[in-house]
Amino acid sequence: MSVPLGPGLTCDEAGWLLVERGWDPDRSVAAGSNFLCGNGYLGYRGTTPEQGPDEFVALVVSDTYDCADGHWRELTTAPNPLFVAAVVDGETLAARSAPEVETSLDLRTGTFGARFRSRVDEAELVVEVERFASADDLHVLAQRWTLRADAEVTVEVDARIDDRIWSLNGEHLPDVHLAADDTVLTATGTTVESGVEVAVAARVVGPTGAVTVPAGGEIVIETTAAVVSSNDVDDPSAEARRRAGAAGYDERAEASAARWAEIWAAMDVTVEGDVADQVGLRFSAYHNRICTPAHTDRLPIGARGLSCQAYQGAAFWDQEVYNLPAFLFTEPEIARSTLVYRHRTLDGARRKAARLGYDGAFFAWISGDTGDELCPDVFFTDVLTGRPIRNHFNDWQMHVAPDVVTMIERYLDVTSDERFLVDHGAELAFEVARFLHSFVRYDEWRGVYHCIRLLGPDEWHENVDDNAFTNHQVRKALAFAVETHERLTADHPDALAELTDRIGLRPEEVDGWRRVRDRMLLPQPDDDTDLIEQFAGFFELEDVRPDEVRSRLLDPGEYWGWPNGVAVATQVSKQPDVVMLLWQQADAFGDDVARANYEYYEPRCAHGSTLSHAAHGMVAVRIGEIERAHDHFRRTAMVDLLNTAHAVVGGTFIGGIHTAACGGTYQLAVNGFGGLDVDGDRLTIDPQLPAAWSGLSYPVRWRGLGLRVRITGDAIEITADHANDASVRVAVRGVELDVAPGATASG
């Protein structure tokens, strides 16, 4: 029995299999992203084998950054090794023209499926497709294509590498060389700016050319493909050919499925009582995992992952605030490597700071493989005038730097990874502290430090002063830098001496961090209303609601934000800002303040970003508004499945999987409803489930120990792994428990 999710979209009762029936060209961008096969190294969009670049077919490859148009530096899309087309009596069998079409994604194994039925003359023909990106060998894609006929028919079968490439911004591989030997096809090209050689190889097994299919018969074509770049090996073409010919489809499928079983064992969250929420949560976990380069610490988590080239395959603040926390309690080694990536790209952040006249490290708003700023000055176009809009994402939205540091602190709270602090975290914290010290401005009259001319999380309001979220994050990051310096002084003096010498850190700099920490202007709740002003002068703006502002648009494609968008002079925000502060620094404010600000700001938020609902949901859980939080959960979990976000904004293509929403969905389920948190040296669990959920179960990795939490009604069971070498301390609704290896405790 299938469970309806949306128009034409269903899932199975177990919450693992997504199925979409029918063909809607308006959903082609979204469907290709939703049914993506990927593994962190590559992403292959969920299109059918006969489709071409005009239907958004793309194979996106990590670590292939290139600027082909002089404006956008993005990941490269490679030639398509899985192209298969069948022609009968001059008619190509195609999903887009078939009367019956079904596409699917088995989340358990990351397997894409397609099935469509066509009739040519007297013959009924059925094409079935199965495809996966290997979770075992990350360079490998495999596909099985089957054609069945109920009457004898002659079919022209074309199975090859298609060198026609869909690319958003320029031709990255303008000269693709095609070659073939006895068993393997290859396509190679070199990116125009970065000089990266990309090689695609495909071993095709099965009949091609003119093939006669008897009545009741079938033909099967199996393609094993591999993608390798010169950033991986010296001879990518030879390596791609070797991998493509190493094993067949069934062997590859078995190995990949086994690896997926290990991944799901670490991260699967089980929802009881609501299958739609279950599949939305697994869909989010799947995409958050396959967008993450878990195989390396040199690459970022892209805001659209590897689903397309939008947002350049680069990291934003989303990486630390949304994506990374989903790994803290499941695969903490991935969280670690994501933070090591920031350390590896410190020089890029230093270059940005120096270019803008600051000290230390100013992390890029859009960060690729080097950490240099990839965000252009012009991101959107005024649809009314055709003129470019100068947004200051790349020089005023500076909260990304303290956001990275506050997540380092969170990572250490969860993992107690002292080695990371010494080898990476301290240098990151110190260089960001240097930047923040040079960024703030001292007010001698009031004796406080300000953050001026900036852009907070609400991207529609630029050029503001003392944004509450930013100021509080700055103070928190400086406090951590000071504490880290004191910690290394006491516990790792030799390491501190080496680091101090290497980066030229002076004692007076650390004294300066202390001064700013102690005198930072921190917007506080009003004594009467408990409201925190989003930034200086915010409450003087027009107090209207998003629907009123929307009614003022002259064109639905207008950009709402700075400098002259319809929201700029109003209190309508694109996404949470003060609410984001209440989520990220929950301990800094009481529940009354959280409630007052949630109730004030949520109605004034247009939820114009997919980052929005997870943050609102987390604060709603905190103040006991569980059903409102559940509504936010569903909106963030289903934003891609139901295609509720725009693919183009202000003339810029921003389609693809919203990976931050995927990470936010996990956090809202586990850290929100599931109540999982950390307090010193113990886990804390204080759940509040939505009415629709009869139970919730999730795995936890905690400082090298494993356990599983199951919540049903008022009962909470915690089962520790048999392999644990120590008991786990857990506070369940305030009652402290010690759970021995292999034991189950109830709270």
| Rounded alpha-carbon distances, angstroms, from residue 443 to 120, 400, 522 | 79, 24, 14
Per-residue pLDDT, 248: 92
Task: Give the C-alpha separation, 235 to 312, whole Å.
Answer: 26
| Cβ atoms of residues 600 and 543 within 8 Å | no
Per-residue pLDDT, 650: 67
Of all residues in the chain, the percent with pLDDT exceeding 70 is 100
Span 653-678, average pLDDT = 96
| Cβ atoms of residues 140 and 133 within 8 Å | yes
Strand runs labelled E in 561-609? none
Q: How far is CA 653 from the centre of its chain?
A: 17
Per-residue pLDDT, 74: 97
Residue 244 has pLDDT above 70, yes or no: yes
| Cβ atoms of residues 714 and 675 within 8 Å | no
Residue 431 has pLDDT above 80, yes or no: yes
Considering only CA atoms, which of 146, 157, 152, 159 is closest in space to residue 213?
152
The catalytic position among 459, 558, 602, 625 is: 459
Considering only CA atoms, which of 181, 155, 1 is closest in space to residue 93?
155
Per-residue pLDDT, 564: 93
Does the annotation count 459 as an active-site position?
yes
For 173-189, the pLDDT digits (tens) are 999 999 998 789 999 99
Span 402-425, average pLDDT = 98
pLDDT confidence tier of residue 131, bands split at 50, 70 and 90: very high
For 465-488, the pLDDT digits (tens) are 999 999 999 999 999 999 999 999
Per-residue pLDDT, 651: 67
The label of the residue with tokens 């990106």 reads 133
Q: How far is CA 719 from the centre of its chain?
A: 30
Task: Give the C-alpha separation, 226 to 46, whole Å.
Answer: 17
Rg (CA), the chain: 26
Helices (H), 245-398: 249-267, 275-290, 318, 325-328, 332-344, 346-355
For 511-564, the pLDDT digits (tens) are 999 999 999 999 999 999 999 999 999 999 999 999 999 999 999 999 999 999
Q: Is 251 or 380 the better-scoring residue by pLDDT? A: 251
H and E: helices and strands count for the chain: 20, 34
Characterize the bridge pairing of strands 728-732 and 682-685. parallel
| Cβ atoms of residues 131 and 141 within 8 Å | yes
Per-residue pLDDT, 311: 93
Considering only CA atoms, which of 134, 88, 86 is closest in space to residue 111?
134
For 559-599, the pLDDT digits (tens) are 999 999 999 999 999 999 999 999 999 999 999 999 999 99
For 260-307, the pLDDT digits (tens) are 999 999 999 999 999 999 999 999 999 999 999 999 999 999 999 999
Considering only CA atoms, which of 395, 399, 483 is closest in space to residue 436?
399
Q: Which two tokens stand for residue 38?
A: 């990927």
Per-residue pLDDT, 185: 97
For 71-91, the pLDDT digits (tens) are 999 999 999 999 999 999 999
Considering only CA atoms, which of 117, 118, 124 is closest in space to residue 152?
124
| Rounded alpha-carbon distances, angstroms, from residue 225 to 44, 203, 208, 418, 728 | 12, 6, 17, 42, 45
> What is the residue-averaged pLDDT of the chain?
96
Span 443-472, average pLDDT = 97
Per-residue pLDDT, 42: 98
Q: Which two tokens stand for residue 271?
A: 């929802």
Per-residue pLDDT, 27: 84
Task: Give the C-alpha separation, 321 to 502, whole Å.
Answer: 30
pLDDT confidence tier of residue 48, bands split at 50, 70 and 90: very high
Characterize the bridge pairing of strands 676-679 and 682-685. antiparallel
Q: Which two tokens stand for residue 16?
A: 């693992």
Per-residue pLDDT, 437: 98
Characterize the bridge pairing of strands 91-92 and 80-88. antiparallel
